Amino acid sequence: MKKIYFITSNKGKLVEAQKKFSEIGIEVVQNNIGYPEIQADSLEEVAFFGVEHVLKNFKSPFILEDAGLFIDTLKGFPGVYSAYVFHTVGCDGVLKLMNDTKVKDRIAVFRSVFAYGKSDLKPHLFIGECKGVISIVKRGNNGFGYDPIFIPQNSDKTFAEMNISEKNSYSHRGKSLEKLIDFFKKI
Ligand code: ITT
């Protein structure tokens, strides 16, 4: 079985990628060497610089991903700061910020940017988005991160109320992984 390294500290992302890649017979192996997440205006920049950094020390082809939750009424916050906000105030903190916000104004988008790194190539980026709304309260026990407070369009469940396949069928990561898999089929 062919394999690809996924540079990530996040087990939740890993299992979602493993599920998708298993469909084309590729094993996804976690590597937790890490990379500095630069302070930037976009996920694309963070992923691009992540690849450049990892390439200095890691010789096998790999993928990495930067993701974020962009809430309309908060002007895109937490966005590129999603990891920091999650580790400090978490889902409860985000719900509190949106305390007085009516359902129709709770629109948000999850974005995922995967990058493929290989020593003789410029980083290739694969982008996926999932529109939805922020729930009023946390719901569900599956998944990770902001999953208990995000309801994707065309569903009434939060991501945390879905299994991995169902989440992948709606999610930002499911979409960016589809593009990445198309690319893998070609190379
Ligand atoms: P890496 O090691 O891969 O960077 P991370 O958890 O730091 O893992 P990100 O910076 O890409 O990942 O993610 C930013 C935050 O957004 C982080 O707190 C995640 O838990 C959260 N997040 C990302 N994707 C998510 C998803 O599909 N569902 C819920 N929360 C998500």
Asked if residue 114 has its Cβ within 6 Å of ligand 1, the reply is no
Ligand 1 centroid, distance to 70 Cα (angstroms): 12
Whether 66 is a known active-site residue: answer yes
Ligand 1 centroid, distance to 146 Cα (angstroms): 8
Ligand 1 centroid, distance to 45 Cα (angstroms): 16
33-40's contacts with Cβ under 8 Å and 24+ in sequence apart are 33/7, 33/57, 33/58, 34/7, 34/9, 35/7, 35/64, 37/66, 37/83, 39/80, 40/80
**How much is the pLDDT for 103?**
81
Contact by Cβ (8 Å): 45, 96:
no
Catalytic residue among 66, 100, 105, 182: 66
Contact by Cβ (8 Å): 140, 133:
no
Asked if residue 144 has its Cβ within 6 Å of ligand 1, the reply is yes
Asked if residue 148 has its Cβ within 6 Å of ligand 1, the reply is no
**How much is the pLDDT for 1?**
61
Asked if residue 135 has its Cβ within 6 Å of ligand 1, the reply is no
Tally the domains of the chain: 1
**How much is the pLDDT for 104?**
84
Q: What are the pLDDT tens digits along the chain (187 aa)?
A: 699 999 999 999 999 999 999 999 999 999 999 999 888 999 999 999 999 999 999 999 999 999 999 999 999 999 999 999 999 999 999 999 999 888 889 999 999 999 999 999 999 999 999 999 999 999 999 999 999 999 999 999 999 999 999 999 999 999 999 999 999 998 8
CATH number, position 45 = 3.90.950.10
Domain that holds residue 99: 2-186
Ligand 1 centroid, distance to 165 Cα (angstroms): 18
